[in-house]
Structure 1
């Protein structure tokens, strides 16, 4: 949470200048990058589904075993600086994308609000619609394709208290 003294690291550093702890803190915990994606073999177009990686706890939008995710899920993709800059499916609300493009974090980001709950309250997280891929046969994944995720909340302001 902002305390009003020195500017926060995401305003003074590029993605390349951030340490590992800062990089990890930049993740807002929305779970959007953990959604199963399907690629059209003919067009290479990527489609998001409402299915999440089997390692994602949909209630908290956090990995069930983050330190061992690559061992347990070989297709898990680490979001590093290069990928943050090149992956077209990263949402506009992704802090890596926002900061990488020179923007500031929105009000609902936990580093700004001081609580991980605001990402859910703003409707940014997948908590309200995702379900584990483990509940669906792979040949049926296409039935769970969703249109683009809403981005409106990135500009929305919190309700007056």
Structure 2
């Protein structure tokens, strides 16, 4: 499969040398591993604030590619879609999957070996079994009051 993220010409291991707020847009986008877990609907415990992932995917997730079908104009379809940026990580990183590169780097942790920036190929996230490829359920098919029945343990 062709990787839609342009990683050509990036400095070797740039994320280890530059703070997140100093990354170019291309470097920022390249941090996405393509797992698709950020597009899973989540449930937040009102008391503890703990966030649980469900198998219920956003209506825009193409679960065969693990990519948003309308990434550039997703807010026209899903107004509350989180746009993660260096300046909002403090308020949104906890909402991201535990394996998310943005969250890992924000927490001061290294990227996993299966991350495309380390492995050198886009399918490594799928080969490692970390992505949501071909196992999500559509939010159109599962009523919201049943999402709790579809909470998953995050694959790492």
Give me the TM-score of the superposition, normalised by structure 2.
0.81
The residue that corresponds to 1:24 in the other structure is 29
Q: 1:132/1:104 Cα in 2 relative to 1: closer, same or farther (>3 Å)?
A: same
SS at match of 2:94: coil
1:34 to partner: Cα distance = 0.9
Q: 1:83/1:31 Cα in 2 relative to 1: closer, same or farther (>3 Å)?
A: farther
Q: Is the 8 A contact 1:31 1:125 kept in 2?
A: yes
The residue that corresponds to 1:112 in the other structure is 118
Alignment of structure 1 residues 49-128 onto 2, 5 Å: 49-86=54-91, 87-128=93-134
Q: Is the 8 A contact 1:35 1:50 kept in 2?
A: yes
1:48 to partner: Cα distance = 1.7
Q: Does 1:137 align with 2:140?
A: no
Aligned residue pairs total: 148
Give me the TM-score of the superposition, normalised by structure 1.
0.79
Unaligned stretches of 5+ residues in structure 2: 1-6
Could you tell me which of 9, 13, 23 is aligned with 2:14? 9
1:115 to partner: Cα distance = 1.8
1:52 & 1:127 partners in 2: Cα distance? 11
1:101 & 1:47 partners in 2: Cα distance? 19
2:99 & 2:45 partners in 1: Cα distance? 24
2:125 & 2:102 partners in 1: Cα distance? 15
1:106 & 1:42 partners in 2: Cα distance? 31
- 1:82-135 superposed Cα distances (whole Å, 9 cap, x missing partner): 443443242332111222334433221112222211101111111153222122
SS at match of 1:24: helix
